[in-house]
Amino acid sequence: MDLRYTDAVPSDAEREAVDALLGSPPSGWEGGTERTDEDLRWARGGAAAAKDRRDQLLPALHTVNDRVGWISEGALNYICRRLTVAPAEAYGVATFYAMFSVRPRPAKVLHVCTDLACAARGSAAVSADLTDRLGPPGTPAEGAVWQESPCLGLCERAPAALLLQAGPEAPSGPDGTAAGDAPRHCAVVAPATAPALVAAARSPRDAPAEPSAAVAVPQAGDPALVLLRRVGTVDPESLDDYRATGGYSALRRAFALGPAGVIREVLDAGLVGRGGAAFPTGRKWQATAQQADGPHYLVCNADESEPGTFKDRVLMEGDPYALIEAMTIAGYAIGAQQGYIYLRGEYPRAYERLSRALTGARTRGLLGPDVLGQGYAFDIEIRRGAGAYICGEETAIFNSIEGQRGEPRSKPPFPVEKGLFGKPTAVNNVETLVNVLPILEHGAAAYAATGTETSTGTKLFCVSGQVARPGVYELPFGANLRELLDLAGPPERLRAVLLGGAAGGFVRPDELDVPLTFEGTRAAGTTLGSGVVLVLDDSVELPRVLLRIAEFFRDESCGQCVPCRVGTVRQEEALHRIVDRTGAAADEDIALMREVGQAMRDASICGLGQTAWNAVESAIDRLGVYK
Amino acid sequence: MTAVPLQPPRRLVSFTLDGEETRVPEGSTILDACRSAGTDIPTLCQGDTLTPKNACRVCVVEVEGARTLAPACSRRAEPGMTVRTGTERARHSRKVVLELLASSTDLSTTPRAAEWIKEYEAKPDRFGEDAARVDEQPKIDNDLYVRDYDKCILCYKCVDACGEQWQNTFAIAVSGRGFDARISTEHDAALPDSACVFCGNCIEVCPTGALSFSTEFGMRAAGTWDEPAQTQTTTVCAYCGVGCNVTLHVQDNEIVKVTSPHDNPVTHGNLCIKGRFGFQHVQNRD
């Protein structure tokens, strides 16, 4: 590789930020300011070394964005030199993610959610009010810039906003503030009002602290809870509290059973993936464990971005050690020594909690070269996403971690054969992994006794929209939608419930008896998806909801394949045309969307394009929106 | 006497293609099988010298038992699989893909596009006059070739040819996302300021004419481009000792562009700046 860099140089702050992540440049060839005599006589590295470091590209982009707020040509050039990445490729990666900017912008960026759950709770009024006060989205004001954002996963406190302020690391001592530069900070404002947002934009550090994760769990403290039992009742920062409430007994049992024994338990328990596809977890682990090629990797998909989904956030914020213990068990079962948590970039509190929990676990020998003195080496690294829904697709995660654009790969080959870094990989959602703990604590039979024959255990539901008590609910599989809504306090005049998120489908008020199981929703022609239950009353204009869904898919399409890249645009255009039309006036566009939708479903590379028409189709056919 | 390199013998895979028992060498794609059986499948992003990217989805076929359609260009034939190429479902997707492409990009110089649009009864106009288009102006920033991204279908072939599959220059990549994704240099710099080495191997693989020689671009703009009147002569490049084949496209006794045979075992269609663009001395008569 003979790479050509530009002449742009980084600022001191940018250089420091990158060096803090990657260390000082080892030679003049890799970003050092001078070439020494030795450098000129000896070139180390080359293409092989470059390949090993490519996965640091996304963390390096993050570190500059966190420090300066955007990624300049000089910073990108420096990152490329340090990592031996072609500038064009790094530019392609940087422009892929919504949270990065390659143009100058203020250090403070305010993300105001306008997605489904927030729209159902008045985000349009907040945006309008904010436009009056700060100007339209994208206009710098008060040293900040605000922009409309897809779902931030704060649906229980909708409408929500997230403010990210770039700057140096917060100083540890009282006098340690870098001159003239406010330290890095983030603030969640939810429920959001325009005055509160303006105040937060002016002075993020004075924004009120975020409430505990327990606020998102209306059932907190209920003894029947399994996955949520610690959320709100145990200090999420304390490893001692975690162990005092049964933590790490599952891992001990796992070591007693051995890897094959763990997989057998998980198979017998009938655990299936909670991310949406409902694939049997034990079979995935078995297939990964059996691969002769190595090393094996475990990836936890914590890129929770489906509009209306926030259960993984609540688990990670409220019980971070549970995820770490569950990942250790999964890693042990599949023979992996390295696990990755791919965490969505918009979850700063989960990042902080998990980072601390990882340090805690390492200090106590629960991660590291010799876990629990059992001779098993395992560690976990968190990789932050940067605003791309598509990176929740299991193969797009690999590309994102590897420092490529987060585009899905074609399958076959499947991740269990060729996944992360081309090696056998098991990818599991946060909720799926956490289910492993009760399976090992109480045994497969006890676990499978809850739920139905094919959907065992309990399920988390993210209830949002027009209900009295939005939040994450945990119910045994088999409960129906009516029971769930009764818990959350349904609206008086229910119009529709969106199950499964933007990629899911609508059900009518007369269909509330649908059992909330994988097979039950499938039989009813809808899906559980990731557990989204978005409740809409008759004050909501459904055509606008559909338009928001279509906008979401258009924005989040990676652009790789034609049916999705152009099809999502054509779908949005058609929905725009008929937003105020009904009957025969809408027929032609509905027919057009059906044709495009069918092609997206049949011919798209990944699940995003394949499901981009689901919710719209169900609204037309089940709810009769345009009749 | 020339030594002919022998491949190790490959096992045959038998599967059903459009109702006929078919046997193809192991590792063959469904497209390979279709082509040997004489079945015509449209392709755009597939390239004979590149690993299939299967991004355009115009070659999709129906594989029995699969939830979605499969791209014939990259899906390998498996023993016992049943493939149908002409089902209504497959033809529907191809039709819609052609409509989506033709309604958003300029396919006027894409070989066979018009023929396929007719064959599949695609109606790109039905998305209305306001349908969003890629809407790009030609980028003319050097004397050798023009990038007219209004014609780009984002097949990734130029990126693959520039990058690790052939040239290892990495001057271009896909930037942005979704409908706003574009082929771009770093920070969208002009080509002479980028890492581009002007080998023109991206032009060689471009399936739509989005990348073209300045000569061709100028002649098309002037209305003097007359492909049927051109002759093609394949000869050996005289610049160095490698011995690459160059195919000279000549119109009115002037070389108008240079390509290279893809089946050449040394170059696979690739050239360097001299072989690709260094032909002016032949016809500068001053």
**A476-511, pLDDT tens digit by residue?**
999 999 999 999 999 999 999 999 999 999 999 999
Is A86's CB within 8 Å of B193's CB? no
The mean pLDDT value for A416-425 works out to: 97
- What digits encode the pLDDT tens for the residues A83-134? 999 999 999 999 999 999 999 999 999 999 999 999 999 999 999 999 999 9
- What digits encode the pLDDT tens for the residues A451-473? 999 999 999 999 999 999 999 99
SS3 A30: helix
3-state secondary structure B191-213: HHHCCCCCCCHHHHHCCCCCEEE
B282 touches A at CB < 8 Å: no
Report residue B159 CA to chain centroid gap: 11
Query: How far A48 CA lies from chain B's nearest CA (Å)?
Result: 13
Q: Residues 110-139, chain B: which have Cβ within 8 Å of A?
A: 126-128, 130-132
Q: Is A443 left (phi over 0), alpha (psi -120 to 50) or beta?
A: left
Which of B46, B51, B53, B57 is the best substitution to test chain A (most A C-beta atoms within 10 A)?
A: B57
- What digits encode the pLDDT tens for the residues B103-127? 999 999 999 999 999 999 999 999 9
Per-residue pLDDT, B9 = 77
- In A, minimum Cα distance to B78 occurs at A412
- Alpha-carbon distance of B98 to B113, in angstroms, equals 8
- What digits encode the pLDDT tens for the residues B156-196? 999 999 998 999 999 999 999 999 999 999 999 999 999 99
Residue appearing with tokens 């946060």? A430
B101 touches A at CB < 8 Å: yes
The mean pLDDT value for A366-394 works out to: 97
Is A598's CB within 8 Å of B92's CB? yes
The mean pLDDT value for A429-449 works out to: 97
Query: How far B163 CA lies from chain A's nearest CA (Å)?
Result: 9
Number of Cβ within a 10 Å radius of residue B121: 10
Query: How far A409 CA lies from chain B's nearest CA (Å)?
Result: 9
Query: How far B46 CA lies from chain A's nearest CA (Å)?
Result: 13
Question: How many Cβ pairs within 8 Å bridge chains A and B?
Answer: 162
Query: How far A92 CA lies from chain B's nearest CA (Å)?
Result: 4
- Alpha-carbon distance of B103 to A574, in angstroms, equals 14
Closest CA to A545 of A599, A489, A481, A465: A465
Per-residue pLDDT, A32 = 79
Helices (H), A95-215: 116-119, 123-134, 194-202
Is A562's CB within 8 Å of B171's CB? no
Give this complex's ipTM: 0.95
B66 touches A at CB < 8 Å: no
Number of Cβ within a 10 Å radius of residue A325: 28
Residue B96 structure tokens: 């819609």
Residue B175: which of A91, A603, A604 has the nearest Cβ? A91
Closest CA to A122 of A182, A62, A169, A192: A192
B81 touches A at CB < 8 Å: no
What average pLDDT does chain B have?
Answer: 95
Is a pLDDT exceeding 80 seen at residue A236? yes
Query: How far A509 CA lies from chain B's nearest CA (Å)?
Result: 30
Closest CA to A204 of A255, A157, A146: A146
Q: Which residue pairs from A145-148 have beta carbons closer than 8 angstroms and sit at least 24 positions apart in sequence?
A: A145/A105, A145/A106, A145/A108, A145/A109, A145/A110, A146/A109, A146/A110, A146/A111, A146/A112, A146/A197, A146/A201, A147/A109, A147/A110, A147/A111, A147/A112, A148/A112, A148/A113, A148/A114
- In A, minimum Cα distance to B100 occurs at A566
Which of A6, A91, A97, A592 is the best substitution to test chain B (most B C-beta atoms within 10 A)?
A: A91
Query: How far B172 CA lies from chain A's nearest CA (Å)?
Result: 5
DSSP A244-292: HTTTTHHHHHHHHHHHHHHHHHHHHHT-B-TTTT--BHHHHHHHHHH-S
Per-residue pLDDT, B283 = 86
φ, ψ of residue A606 to 5 degrees: the values are: -130, 180
Number of Cβ within a 10 Å radius of residue A154: 26
Residues 6+ apart with CB under 8 A from A225: A219, A474
Is a pLDDT exceeding 90 seen at residue B8? no
B153 touches A at CB < 8 Å: yes
Q: Contact A124/A88 with Cβ under 8 angstroms?
A: no
Residue A573: which of B56, B127, B195 has the nearest Cβ? B127
Rounded to two decimals, what is the model's pTM? 0.95
- Type of residue at B147: R
- In B, minimum Cα distance to A598 occurs at B93
Task: Give percent above pLDDT 70 in chain A.
Answer: 97
Is a pLDDT exceeding 80 seen at residue B285? no
Residue A603 structure tokens: 């011919």
- What digits encode the pLDDT tens for the residues A254-298? 999 999 999 999 999 999 999 888 899 999 999 999 999 999 999
Residue A440 structure tokens: 């090992």
- In B, minimum Cα distance to A607 occurs at B68
DSSP class of residue A581?
Answer: -
B182 touches A at CB < 8 Å: no
Q: Contact A49/A71 with Cβ under 8 angstroms?
A: no
Query: How far B186 CA lies from chain A's nearest CA (Å)?
Result: 4
Is A87's CB within 8 Å of B186's CB? yes
Is a pLDDT exceeding 80 seen at residue A177? no
DSSP class of residue A138?
Answer: T
Number of Cβ within a 10 Å radius of residue A530: 28
Measured between beta carbons, which residues in chain B are less than 8 angstroms from residue A96?
Answer: 175-177
Residue B132: which of A555, A569, A605 has the nearest Cβ? A569
SS3 B171: coil
φ, ψ of residue A79 to 5 degrees: the values are: -60, -40
Query: How far B71 CA lies from chain A's nearest CA (Å)?
Result: 8
Is B132's CB within 8 Å of A601's CB? no
Is B176's CB within 8 Å of A555's CB? no
For residue A82, CA distances in Å to A94, A299, A514, B191 come to 16, 26, 55, 24
Per-residue pLDDT, A176 = 46
Is B55's CB within 8 Å of A602's CB? no
Q: Contact A161/A111 with Cβ under 8 angstroms?
A: yes
3-state secondary structure A411-452: CCCCCCCCCHHHCCEEEEEHHHHHHHHHHHHHCHHHHHCCEC
- Alpha-carbon distance of B155 to B43, in angstroms, equals 11
Is A91's CB within 8 Å of B178's CB? no
Helices (H) and strands (E) in chain A, counts: 25, 14
Residue appearing with tokens 């890693």? A331
- Alpha-carbon distance of B89 to B156, in angstroms, equals 26
Residue A309 structure tokens: 């989904």
Residue B57: which of A90, A562, A569 has the nearest Cβ? A562
Among the listed ranges A163-172, A431-440, B34-43, which one has the minimum average pLDDT value? A163-172
Measured between beta carbons, which residues in chain A are less than 8 angstroms from residue B89?
Answer: 602
- In B, minimum Cα distance to A90 occurs at B186
- The β-bridge relationship of strands A144-149 and A336-343 is unpaired
Per-residue pLDDT, B1 = 53
- Residue A2 half-sphere exposure, CB side, CA atoms within 13 Å? 5
- What digits encode the pLDDT tens for the residues A218-229? 999 899 999 999
Residue A561: which of B57, B163, B175 has the nearest Cβ? B57
- What digits encode the pLDDT tens for the residues A544-600? 999 999 999 999 999 999 999 999 999 999 999 999 999 999 999 999 999 999 999
Residue A63 structure tokens: 């570190």
- Alpha-carbon distance of B233 to A475, in angstroms, equals 74
Closest CA to A305 of A429, A404, A414: A429
* C-alpha torsion angle, residues A213, A216, A222, A227 (rounded to 10): -70
Residues 6+ apart with CB under 8 A from A326: A250, A433, A434, A435, A436, A437
Is B194's CB within 8 Å of A604's CB? no
B61 touches A at CB < 8 Å: no
Residue A13 structure tokens: 């702050």
B174 touches A at CB < 8 Å: yes
SS3 A454: coil
SS3 B182: strand
Report residue A466 CA to chain centroid gap: 24
Measured between beta carbons, which residues in chain A are less than 8 angstroms from residue B126?
Answer: 592
Which of A83, A566, A571, A601 is the best substitution to test chain B (most B C-beta atoms within 10 A)?
A: A566
Q: Prior bond to A195 cis, omega within 30? A: no
Name the residue with higher pLDDT: A529 or B1.
Answer: A529
